[in-house]
A and B are shown apart, each in its own frame.
Chain A
Amino acid sequence: MSTLLEVSGVSVTFDGFRAINNLSFSIAEGELRAVIGPNGAGKTTFMDIVTGKTRPDSGRVLFGEKSVDLLRLSEARIARAGVGRKFQRPTVFEDQTVAENLMLALRAHRAPWRVLFWRPKPADHARIAELAAEVGLSDQLPRKAGELSHGQKQWLEIGMLLAQEPRLLLVDEPAAGMTGPEREHTTDLLVSLARSRAVVVVEHDMEFVRRLACKVTVLHEGSVLAEGSLDHVTANPAVIDVYLGRG
C-alpha cells in the first residue's frame, strides 16, 4: 500500500511547553488507524497540525501521491485537498437543518462566486437522502441540527464528512459521551467509512478500539511510544507504565 500521509520530525511548542516532540509516523492509503494515549499526549494537537489549525515549529507533513506539503496550505485548502476532520465535541451548524448541514458539506465548488449560483440538482438531493440513511438520520432531515441528541449530532457530523468525500479522515474521540448502542452504531460507521478511505481515530476507550480491530499508535508526551496491534501495544511495558497502568 502506498503512503497517504507522512508526518516527519514535527515539533510544536506552546509557551515553552513541547506538546509535540519530533513526531513521525505515516498512514497508508485506505488504512484504519487508532491513536491512543493519556490526556495531554498531543493527539488533538496532531490533528490540529495536519488540518492546518496549528503551525508546527519544525517538521514536514506530506499528503497524497504528489506529496503536497500541507504545512504550506490554509485550512480550507487542506480540506479541499482531501483531509476531513471530526472534532472532539460535535460541531454541526445548529441553526440549520440536517439537510442544510449535509448540503454544505457535499462535495462541490467552494469559491464564493460558484457557491452563489449553485443550485441542488435531483442527484444532490438523492445523495443527501442516501447519506442521511447511512448515518441513521433519514427521518430528521428537516429538523434543525441544534435539536438533535448528542449522539445524533455526532452522526450528522460523520455524515457531513462522508458528504465531503475526503481521502483522509481524522476523527477525535467519536464515542465520548455516547451510550452503549450509540457507540456500536458509531464503530460500525467508522469501519464502513474506512472501506473507501483512510481513517485515523483518536479514542480513549479500549473496548471501542478493540472493536475497530486495526493497527494502534500510542502517543505519549508528543511522540510515538509504541505501534502495532492492540494486543501488541498493550503488552508493551512502557505503554502499561504511562497509560494503562494508571487506569
Chain B
Amino acid sequence: MNLFRKHPSLPVFLGLLAAFVLAVTLMSEAAGAGLVSTSFVKTLGKTLCLCLIALAMDLVWGYTGILSLGHFAFFGLGGYMIGMWLMYARTETIVEASLASGALPPTPQEVQDAIATQIFGVVGASDLPAIWSLAGSLPAQLALVVLVPAALAAVFGWLAFRARVTGVYLSILTQAMTLALALWLFQNDSGLRGNNGLSGLQNIPGLEQHGQDLVSLWFFWASALALGLGYLGAQWLVSGKFGSVIRAIRDDEARVRFLGYPVEGFKLFVFVLTAVVAGLAGALYYPQAGIVNPAELAPIASIYLAVWVAIGGRGRLYGAVIGAAFVSLVSTWFTGGNAPDIPLGGYTLHWVDWWQVLLGLSFVAVTLYAPRGIGGLFDLLAGLRAPNRRGAPLGPDQGALQEKEADA
C-alpha cells in the first residue's frame, strides 16, 4: 500500500483503467447498448495487450537500457503456443462430430489422423508434427506460453550478455533472432503451417454456445486484468532496490560491477521476465485477432514497439502504456481508411499508404524535440524541469538516459 502512496500515478492509472473497462462494458453489444461494436471491443482488447508488451519493453529498454528489437518474437510465440491448443481442440470437436456418424466409434488414432489432415492439409502434410504432441492439453499449452519465450530469452540472453554484447550490436542481434524465428516459421515443414499461420483462433473450444459479443468482452476483461496486474508488478519491481540497480546498469554498467552486482545476471533476469510478459500478452492478443502468422514476428513489429515506448516516454511506466495505446489506435484509424484522403492537385494522398511516413516523422520529431514523449506532458503539468547538464547524458553507456529524458 506504500507503493500507492509513493507513486500517485499508480492509483490514477488503475482507476482510469477500471473506469475504461466499465464504460466499454456498459456500451458493448453484449450489454445490449451496442454503442461499441464487437469488433471494436476486440480492437480495444488487443490494444490493452499491446500496452502490456509496451510495459515489458519499457522495463527492458527504458529502465535497463537494453534496446531489444526482438520482443515481438516472444509475443508471437505466446500467440502460437495458445493458438496450437485453440486450433487442435476446435478441430477435434469438428472431427469427432463428423466421425460419430460412422458405423464404428473412431479409434483415438483415427481421430488424431483426421485432426492432422484437417490442420495440415493446407501445407500438404497429414502427420501431426512432434511439437504438436501436447496441443490437446490446455494446461500444457498454457505452460508453454510461459516456458517457450522464457527458454528462448534465457538461451539468447545468456549467450549475448555473457559475451558482454551491448548497445547497437545487441539490438542487431535481437533483430537477427526475430528474423531467424520468422523465417523458420515461414517454412511449411516447421510444423506450424508456414505462412498460413494458425487461424480461427477467435472460436474458443468449450465456449461455442456463447456469441462473439460475449467472448470478446471476456477477453477484453482478461486483457485489462493482465495489464493492471502487469502495471502493478512493474511498479513494484522498479520502485525498490532492484529498480535502482537496473537503472544504474542502464546508465553505467561498469560502475555497477565494481559495486559487486552481477550485471549479466540482472540483465538476464529482466530479459527473461519481460519475454514471459510479452508471451502472455501475445497469448491474450491472438485469440482476439483470430489469426497468428509469421508476418506478425517480422522484425519491423519489434521496431514499432520501441517507437511506441519512445513516443510515450521511455523510463516511465505510464509513458509506455500511453505510447502503445495512442499510436496503435491512431494507426488503426489511419490504416482502416477512416482518415479523409487529401487531394493534392494531381495526386491524392491516401493515409493508408502515408500513415507509416507520418509515424516515422513523429518518431524523429519526438526524439529531437520532446525526448520525454507524451508522458513528459505530465511533468509539465507537475512543474518538473529537466536537469541542466549542458547536454551531457546521465551516464556513459549507450542506453543511458539523456539529459532531456530525465527529470531533476
Contacts and interface: CB of A to CB of B under 8 A. Distances in A.
Interface of A: 51, 53, 74-77, 79-80, 84-85, 87, 91, 93-96, 100, 103-105, 110-113, 115-116, 118-120, 144, 146-147, 160, 164
Interface stretch (B121-129, B142-150, B241-249): B241-249
B389 interface: yes
Contacts of B269: 112-113
4 closest A-B pairs by beta carbon, nearest first, are A79-B260, A75-B257, A80-B260, A95-B394
Interface of B is mostly: helix
A77 B237 CA distance: 25
B258 A104 contact: no
A115 B394 contact: no
B244 A110 contact: no
A91 B265 contact: no
Contact of B248 (A85, A104, A118): A104
Interface of B: 237, 240-242, 244-245, 247-248, 251-252, 254-263, 265-266, 269, 387, 389, 394-395, 401, 406, 408
A146 B407 CA distance: 11
Nearest to A81: B260
A94 B397 CA distance: 12
A87 B259 CA distance: 12
Contacts of B244: 93, 96, 100, 103-104
A103 B241 contact: yes
Contact of A76 (B240, B241, B257, B394): B257
A77 B263 CA distance: 11
A74 B257 CA distance: 9
24 contacts: A74-B262, A75-B257, A75-B258, A76-B258, A76-B261, A76-B263, A79-B257, A91-B255, A93-B244, A94-B251, A95-B406, A103-B244, A104-B244, A104-B256, A110-B259, A110-B262, A112-B265, A112-B266, A115-B240, A115-B242, A115-B245, A116-B240, A116-B242, A144-B408
A187 to B, nearest CB: 23
Interface centre among A85, A94, A95, A146 (most CB of B within 10 A): A95
B243 to A, nearest CB: 9
Given A104-B244, A111-B265, A112-B265, A146 B394 contact: yes
B251 A95 contact: yes
A118 B262 CA distance: 16
B242 A104 contact: no
Contacts of B245: 104, 115
Contacts of A79: 257-260
Contact of B262 (A76, A91, A96, A119): A76
A147 B408 CA distance: 8
A76 B387 CA distance: 31
Contacts of A84: 258
Interface centre among B241, B244, B262 (most CB of A within 10 A): B241
Contacts of B266: 112, 115
B253 to A, nearest CB: 10
Contact of A94 (B237, B240, B254, B394): B394
A33 B263 CA distance: 31
Given A76-B258, A119-B240, A146-B406, 20 more contacts: A51-B258, A74-B257, A76-B262, A79-B257, A93-B251, A93-B255, A94-B251, A94-B389, A94-B394, A96-B244, A96-B248, A103-B244, A104-B248, A112-B265, A112-B266, A112-B269, A115-B245, A118-B242, A119-B241, A160-B259
B251 A53 contact: no
Nearest to A89: B396
Contact of A95 (B254, B255, B262, B395): B395
A93 B351 CA distance: 45
Contacts of A51: 258
Given A76-B262, A76-B263, A112-B242, A95 B257 contact: no
Nearest to B269: A112
Interface centre among B242, B245, B260, B406 (most CB of A within 10 A): B260
A104 B406 contact: no
Given A95-B395, A95-B401, A146 B240 contact: no
Nearest to B249: A93
A75 B257 CA distance: 6
Contacts of B248: 93, 96, 104
A85 to B, nearest CB: 5
Contacts of A96: 244, 247-248
B265 A146 contact: no
Given A100-B244, A144-B408, A53 B261 contact: no
A80 B261 CA distance: 8
B387 A146 contact: yes
A111 B255 CA distance: 16
Interface centre among B241, B244, B258, B262 (most CB of A within 10 A): B258
Contacts of B254: 53, 75
B387 A147 contact: yes
B247 A118 contact: no
A92 to B, nearest CB: 8
Contacts of A100: 244
A95 B240 CA distance: 15
Interface centre among A53, A93, A120, A144 (most CB of B within 10 A): A93
A144 B389 CA distance: 12
Nearest to B236: A116
Contact of B241 (A74, A118, A147, A160): A118
A96 B400 CA distance: 12
A93 B387 contact: no
